[in-house]
Each structure stands twice: as C-alpha cells, then as structure tokens.
C-alpha cells in the first residue's frame, strides 16, 4: 500500500489537525472545503463568490496532490436553497466536455454557506 500524503494549501486550513485533503496512491480525497476568502475566515456575501472560492481552493488542492481537474471523479456541494444555476458556470468552466464530466451531488437545504468535497483518481 502506498504511503498517505496530507495535502496543505496556502490560505486554507482547518482549525484542528485535519488536512484539507489526503492522497493515498492514486486516490485523492478532500475534507470539507469552506468558501473562505484565501487566508481569512471571511465568507463572501454572494453564493457565486462562495463557489468561486471553493473552485479556487479545489484547484490548489489538486495541484498540491499532483493532480488536476481531469482527475476529479466526483464533487459534492452543500448549499443554501438558491438557484441551481449559480453553480453551473463554474462547473462548465472546469468540465467543458459534457461527455467527460465527473459525478456531482448537490445537497440543497439548511446550509448557511456553500461547502464541498471531492474525490479524484490520479493514474499518471
């Protein structure tokens, strides 16, 4: 079995001893991803800005893990009850080929801000 590597990125961390993501062999799995502005605990007022921060953080995590967007197998989002279209521009930007997009589950409910997680698989 391959050794586990904890992933850290500048400007986003948990307040406890939890990495933002981890890689074991080809598998990369994130912890919960908050919509904070980099280097702060400030959450933007708009849902679009929160999604922008989430996708920014994911890009940095993937890079730190030796991966990129083509390796993402699944993303999950927890979001307040808002128009689903707020997420789609970011989704389509990162995954423009509709024949090659990862799985996605969007949980709409009682969340106050957007959060997310992802699973990636790196074979190269």
For residue 30, the domain's CATH number is: 3.30.1330.40
pLDDT in tens, 103-119: 999 998 888 899 999 99
The pTM of the full predicted model, rounded to 2 decimals, is 0.93
Q: Where are the beta strands (DSSP E) in the chain?
A: 4-7, 21-24, 27-30, 72-79, 103-108, 115-121
Task: Tell me how many domains the chain contains.
Answer: 1
Q: Return mean pLDDT, the chain.
A: 92
pLDDT for the residue numbered 110: 84
Q: What is the residue range of 67's domain?
A: 4-121
């Amino acid at each position: 079995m391959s050794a586990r590597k904890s992933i850290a990125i500048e400007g986003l961390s948990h307040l406890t001893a939890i990495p933002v993501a981890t890689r074991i062999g080809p598998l990369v799995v994130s912890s919960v991803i908050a919509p904070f502005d980099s280097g702060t605990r400030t959450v933007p007022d708009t849902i679009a800005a929160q999604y922008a921060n989430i996708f920014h953080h994911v890009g940095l995590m993937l890079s730190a893990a030796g991966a990129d967007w083509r390796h993402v197998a699944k993303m999950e989002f927890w979001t307040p009850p808002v128009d689903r279209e707020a997420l789609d521009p970011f989704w389509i930007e990162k995954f423009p080929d509709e024949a090659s997009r990862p799985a996605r589950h969007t949980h709409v409910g009682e969340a106050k801000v957007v959060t997310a997680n992802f699973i990636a698989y790196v074979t190269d």
